Structures are given as structure tokens and as C-alpha cells.
Structure 1
Amino acid sequence: MTEQNKKTLLIVDDDQDIRQLLCDAFLQKGYNAFAVENGIGMWGYLDKVQVDLILMDLYLQDEDGLQLAREVRERFSMPIMMLTGKGDETDRILGLELAADDYMMKPFNLRELMARIHALLRRATQQAPVLSNVINEAHECLSFGRWTLDITARQLQGQDGHLVSLTLGEFSLLEVLARHPDRIFSREQLIDQSRGLETEVFDRTVDVLILRLRRKIESNPKTPEFIKTQRGLGYFFQGPVRTN
């Protein structure tokens, strides 16, 4: 990994031993790594350094890591990996999935953590949006409402040219739904047909991805215009959808 291509990771953890362990491990793997113990330190780096991924502890001393992740997500699009304890309650984990791109339970396997961080960085690089307000006419596109889903470039673009960042799972799920307007899919069918979902996926993961998509494409996520719920059956995409 050349100096120019080195990715910068920011570790936010109030445990000095964890910070040192992770910094050493990431530096050995060729990453730039910085570590801070709280939100103040985190914002200090984010205001002056281009960070490619944040690795954050859910429970910081006197701070809520989940709330910090939500605040980061409002301003930045880099992947967020959270570290959390096995005793965390289910509803908190659900909230965590909405704010972060991935999470691991402590104690974690360092090799697995490295692999998952590498996957997040690779995915983010592949999906980094190219700023352009022109849709290539040669691309396969699906249009609905004020949105155009460019299947070829794997981008979601608004009428004003604004590009919306989608994770691999979000894009794949939206593609499946938009390709089959007004067809009801069960969660299991969506998992089977979404190429971007990981192999170990649960029903709740689909629900989380639906919530994320609604927050990105719906004017009012609580009363969605496009992604509808069919109670007891699953989800469907309300057309019309135009293809080029």
C-alpha cells in the first residue's frame, strides 16, 4: 500500500490498552491510524484530517458512542465500525445498525476485525460517488419520482444532480424492489435476490436496510411513497418505475 493510497483509520475508545493494540495492528497492516479517547478528540481529527473509517466503542466514559455515531453520520459518509459488549439489549443493537455500517462484539478476534474493516473500506472505495449531474444515456437506469437509480454506475441521483451514498446492501435491496414494482417480496426472498447482502443475514437486517433506504429516498419515512410494507407478507415498491 503506497503512502498516497494509505487509508486513515480513527479509533475512538476510552481504553488505553485497546487504543494501543489497534493502532499497532493497523500500522502493521499499512494503514494510517490515530486514536482518541472521547468525542472531543474525534471531532478534532475529523475537522482537520480526511478519515476513511471510524472504529468506535459503543460505551465511552461519560459519552454515548451510538449518539456520536449518529452525529458523525449526519455530516460524513465514511464507514463506521462499532465495538460493543455481548450483553447489550436488542433494541440498542437495532439502533446501532441504523447508525453504523458494521459492529463486532467484545472480546473480538483481531484477524476477523481486520478482515471486516478491510471489506468496509473496499466497499466504500468501490461506491465512492463521482460528482456529476449528468446521467450517461448508455447506462441502465431505473427512474421513480425524483430519483434515478443508475444500475451500471451503482449510483442513486436526485433531479438536482445530488448523489446519495448507498451501502452495497442498500443498493442491492433497492435494485431488487425497483426492478419489480408492485410485487410483494418476503424478507427471505429479498435476501435471496439481493446480491449485496452478506451470507449470514437475518430478517431484522432486511428491516434495518429498509429503514435506512426510507430515510434516504422518502420525503417522509414514516409515510413512505415508494417502499411500502404489506403487513404479514413483506415489502413492495410502489410504481411506476421507468427504464431507459
Structure 2
Amino acid sequence: MGDRDMGQEHIIVVDDEADLRDMLSEYLARHGFAVSVASNGEEMRAILRDRPAHLVTLDLRMPGEDGFALAKHLRDQGPIGIIMVTASSEKVDQIVGLELGADDYIAKPFDPRELLARVRSVLRRVNASTRGETQPAGVMGQEIRMGRCMFNVATAKLFTVDGREVPLTAMEFDLLKVFVERPNRVLSRDQLLDCAHHRDMDAFDRSIDIRIMRIRRKIEEDPGRPRVLRTVRGLGYMFVTADRVRDLGLSA
């Protein structure tokens, strides 16, 4: 459970039908995934430049660059999960898609529960094939769950679980990076400033407390009762990971 406790799988739904994109985004998010949506290949690539993805659902028949071309592009990047979505039951589409490297396919119309089962199955296979690798592919990478957000150290970006980017200042990023690299440990103001390379600030300068307060407003469900960046009175602050939050009987 370790990787799933610290991170959350990111899925991109690529389809030119807005209603289907919205429905799948909402459904998959309800089942614990971080979801982004794209109406074409250009939007999909833009998302991948900002944050890694673990699986992509691809509509085969889209105007312009179709799902076959996008599947080939994704497979060239590494072991990302690919599920082809098609309105056609033609076997040739399914065969070509699989030959291009898709992991699975599903024909429209479909029950979202069937797609969810296929998503979970593909992710299990992808996770098993990349287990033990520190960086499985250029389009993949670890995102850390921090309250109601996902933090990506590699891209220096923070996202809500429904895919919206949350702006970060340079100091906020530095502090978040320090916390995720030292989870479940109490860090004093001195340690935070040392690790974040901000020794020009005084450890007793309350501006660091203000910055942490601002971070809490972005990541905590209830900033007035922080559960993720906790204050340890008289000592400092601690980033409590999702698994540790559960162990303590707190809500994430």
C-alpha cells in the first residue's frame, strides 16, 4: 500500500465528447483518482508537460490526430497505461489498437463500472511491471498526496485532486519540498530554513509561520484545524502522510 498511500494515480481522459469527458472525470474522481481531461492530442500533451500520468483513456475516432497516433506517441514514452475507447465494435480497430501498444479497449456505450474495473486492472499490471524502478517513464512519476492536493516535486506544481493547478510561490515550493522529503518528522524553524536554503531569514522571524499558514489554506480541508501540516507545540512543524493520518484516527 506504500505508493498508493503517498501518491494518487493520475488519469487523463481524452475524448472530443464534452459530456463523456465530464461524466468520466467525475466518476473516476469519486473512486479516488486524480483526473484531467483533454479534447484532443494537443491538450493531452500540454497536461503531460505539467504533470505525469499513470493511465490515459483514448477515444479512437477524434478529428485531427486520432487515438491510434496518440497511443503510439504515449507508448514511445514508456510504460503508461492505455485504454482505447471506441464507438466501433470493429475487430480491426481493436487489433490495431492493441498492436500499437494499448493495454485494453472498451466499446461505447459502456457502463462506467466496467471502465473502472479495466482501469484498475491495467494499473495493477503497469505497477507490477515497473515495481522497483525509481523513475519508470518520462510521462510518469510520483505525486505526493497532501490533504486535498497532489504535489509534484519534479514539475514544482501543486494540483487539486480534480486537476486544477494551485499557484505556488518559490518559498512555498521550497517548504513543501522539505516536508515531503522528510515525512512524519518534526522540523524546527531552523531546520526548515536550512533545508530550504533560506538562511537569510531569522528562525524567529514569524514570516515562516505566515507562509505555512498560506500553504495550509491551499492543501488543508480545514485550515483552522490542520491535519497535514501539523504544529508540534514548542518544537516546530510536521508533514503527516496519508497513512499516518489514518493511523492517528484523523481525517485526511
Rounded to whole Å, the distance in 1 between the matches of 2:62 and 2:116 is 22
Report the equivalent of 1:28: 30
For 1:125, the equivalent position in structure 2 comes to 127
> Displacement of 1:123 after TM fit?
1.6
Structure 2 distance, partners of 1:52, 1:131, is 14
Q: Do the aligned partners of 2:58 and 2:82 also contact (CA within 8 Å) in 1?
A: yes
Counting aligned pairs with the same residue, the percent is 29
* SS of residue matched to 2:6: coil
1:92 aligned partner:
93
Counterpart CA distance in 1 for 2:27 and 2:93 is 29
Runs of 5+ consecutive residues of structure 2 not aligned to the other structure: 138-252
The higher relative CO (CA closer than 8 Å, separation ≥ 6) is in 2
Query: Are 1:67 and 2:77 matched, yes or no?
Result: no
Map 1:164-183 to 2 at 5 A: none
Q: Which SS does the other structure have where 2:50 is aligned?
A: coil
List aligned pairs for 1:3-152, cutoff 5 A.
4-88=6-90, 90-99=91-100, 100-131=102-133
In the superposition, the TM-score normalised over structure 1's length comes to: 0.50
User: Counterparts of 2:92 and 2:127 in 1: how far apart (Å)?
Assistant: 31
Query: How far is the alpha carbon of 1:63 from its aligned partner?
Result: 2.4
Shift of 1:129: 4.6
Distance 1:54 1:116 in 2: 12
**For residues 62 and 49 of structure 1, what CA distance do their matches in structure 2 show?**
24
The code of the aligned residue for 1:95 comes to: V
**Could you list the per-position Cα deviations for residues 181-228 of structure 1 after superposition, in whole angstroms to 9, with x for gaps in the alignment?**
xxxxxxxxxxxxxxxxxxxxxxxxxxxxxxxxxxxxxxxxxxxxxxxx
Whole-Å separation in 2 of the counterparts to 1:61 and 1:122: 31
AA of the residue aligned to 2:25: C
Output the CA distance in 2 between the equivalents of 1:36 and 1:5: 22
Post-superposition shift, 1:31? 0.5
Aligned length: 133
Shift, 1:119, TM fit = 0.9
Distance (Å, rounded) in 2 between the aligned partners of 1:47 and 1:83? 23
Q: Aligned-pair distance for 1:50?
A: 1.1
Distance 2:114 2:92 in 1: 25
| SS of structure 2 residue aligned to 1:66 | helix
Q: Over the residues paired in the alignment, what is the CA RMSD in angstroms?
A: 2.3
Distance in 2, matches of 1:92 and 1:104, equals: 11
Q: CA deviation at 1:71?
A: 1.3
> Could you tell me how far 1:92 is from its partner in structure 2?
2.9
Q: Is the contact between residue 59 and residue 66 of structure 2 (CA under 8 Å) also seen in structure 1? A: no
| Aligned-partner SS, 2:52 | coil
SS at match of 2:13: strand
Who wins on radius of gyration, i.e. which is larger? 2
Taking structure 2 as the reference length, the TM-score comes to 0.49
Q: SS state of the match for residue 63, structure 1?
A: coil
Instruction: State how far apart, in whole Å, the 2-side matches of 1:127 and 1:87 are.
Output: 29
Quote the offset at 1:8 in angstroms. Answer: 0.3
Q: AA paired with 2:118?
A: R
Matched residues in 2 for 1:128 and 1:50: separation? 15
Provide the rounded CA distance (Å) in 2 between the counterparts of 1:118 and 1:92: 23
The answer as to whether partners of 2:94 and 2:105 remain within 8 angstroms in 1 is: no
* CA distance, structure 1, for counterparts of residue 78 and residue 48 of structure 2: 9
Question: Displacement of 1:75 after TM fit?
Answer: 1.5
SS in 2 for 1:127: helix
CA shift, 1:107, in A, is: 0.3
